[in-house]
Chain A
Amino acid sequence: MNATTLVNGVLEGGLYALVALGLSLVFGVLRLINLAHGVLVIGAAYAALELFELFHLGPFAALPIVIVVAAVFGYLLQRLMLTNLLLKGPEAGIVGTFGLAVLGEAAFAAAFTSNGVSLQSSLATSSVKIGGVTLEMVLVAACAIAIACAGGLQFGLKYTRAGSMLRAAAKDPSTAELMGINVRLVFALTVALAAALAAVGGVLYGVSTGFAPTSDTSLLLIAVAVVVVGGVGNVTGTLVAGLAMGLVQAISVSVFGGGYADFTVYVLFFVVLIARPKGLFGQGAL
């Protein structure tokens, strides 16, 4: 176990935090674990792949387009599907988002085969050496973007008008409605924002790690574990938990071998659920 492995593990944790932020947001506001969140992440990576094949756009040139597409998709998803399901109760939300995940996996497998692929970028192979520690540039970028997104989200939630409307809608939808907040619109924009964050995470994940149609389940579980550890709706907690998760995974890979990478995360998830169901950092802003 050397310093390079550990540092890159923490940096990769930034990626997990990025994926978890969107999940945390939806969970905090809609009280729903979006089981299709992993599919949104992988879908963004596939969208970037398609844009490369069609227009030879690199992953980072494609990113803005992918973000917009994901946000529109998220908005429509909430408007046409999730609102209706949530009114029927939590069971419908679980079945519906699970169905969406199954459908998404099948669609990706049909359109892109079930083989693993990755997004090509010069960033993927470049690295920088600082004092004996080799940093993978793509992970540095992912971590920096994750910190920027978390900071922006935290600021937006706390200090902007839209942020207070969102927090109000999350706390008590019916009272917020009485105060003149268009709760349905706020909910739809929340899912759109979560999908946009998922898209950023997905493209970076595609560049750094590569993906296959079934990658969504392990991503979803890692994200849920991060959200649970960090506290639902707690942006800073999610960021810290994501980085910690990356570190733990790096340690477990170097101790037990690569096969147990995901196993550690799932076990950790159970340990946290047993020990602190409310998360290590408590409930957040939402």
Chain B
Amino acid sequence: MKKEISRRAFIVSTCKILAAGVLMPAGGLAVLEKASFAENGSEVTDWRKVWEGKEWGFVVDTHKCIGCARCVKACKQENHVPLDKEVYRTWVERYRETALGVEIDSPNGGLDFPPLEETTGKQFFVPKLCNQCKNAPCVQVCPVGATYRTGDGVILVDDKRCVGCRYCIQACPYGARFLHPETHVADKCTWCYHRVMKGMEPACVTVCPVGARKFGNLNEHSEVREIIETERVRGLKPEKGTKPMVFYIGLDEVVM
């Protein structure tokens, strides 16, 4: 027997089937998301509550820095970056004005400045680290969503998601990123987010013997906020439009 189907009935049933096809995977996705939310390993179920009222800021006082690179060493120890490899989450640059122009060096990230006596001309140290830009190019270019800026203003790397394409390393105008020689994924300064979330300061701030590095919440009455409000500070490469969140005191115009 031939079964007749009206045009109307066909369109209705086709629409139903199509709708089911679209909604079924989406529905499955929603269920999965919920499950992961509940079985999330850490105690925090909603990071938005943790981030509320927090915006971290960093101040570097270039007048105080003595170029000892304790920060460089401590950072590597804290964040498991091999000490014998030429990769750094933070490093110290030295600027020297000579007859030939400005010389910039940072041997072994600042750990191996050679002994030198000549002291003519302007010379100073500039510690560098990730600027945790408000408008971060590294986050924009990541093709897999493996790097992101948290609600309290720190850019993190998802080392399970990162495919090591190095696009973010190219995108960062500050050269703050590198490919970790052991994990082979992008790595960078996180302002020691794992310490900050436990109520500690970043390791470099803790060990700095002269107090050239300061860290704090810009939304509270903190030392960092007071410095930014009362002193003349500026970020690196403002022309890049990245809105860097590391503020330098006494930054010379030659600093790049």
Q: Do A and B come from one complex?
A: no
Q: Which residues of B contact A (CB under 8 A)?
A: none
A residues in contact (CB < 8 Å) with B: none
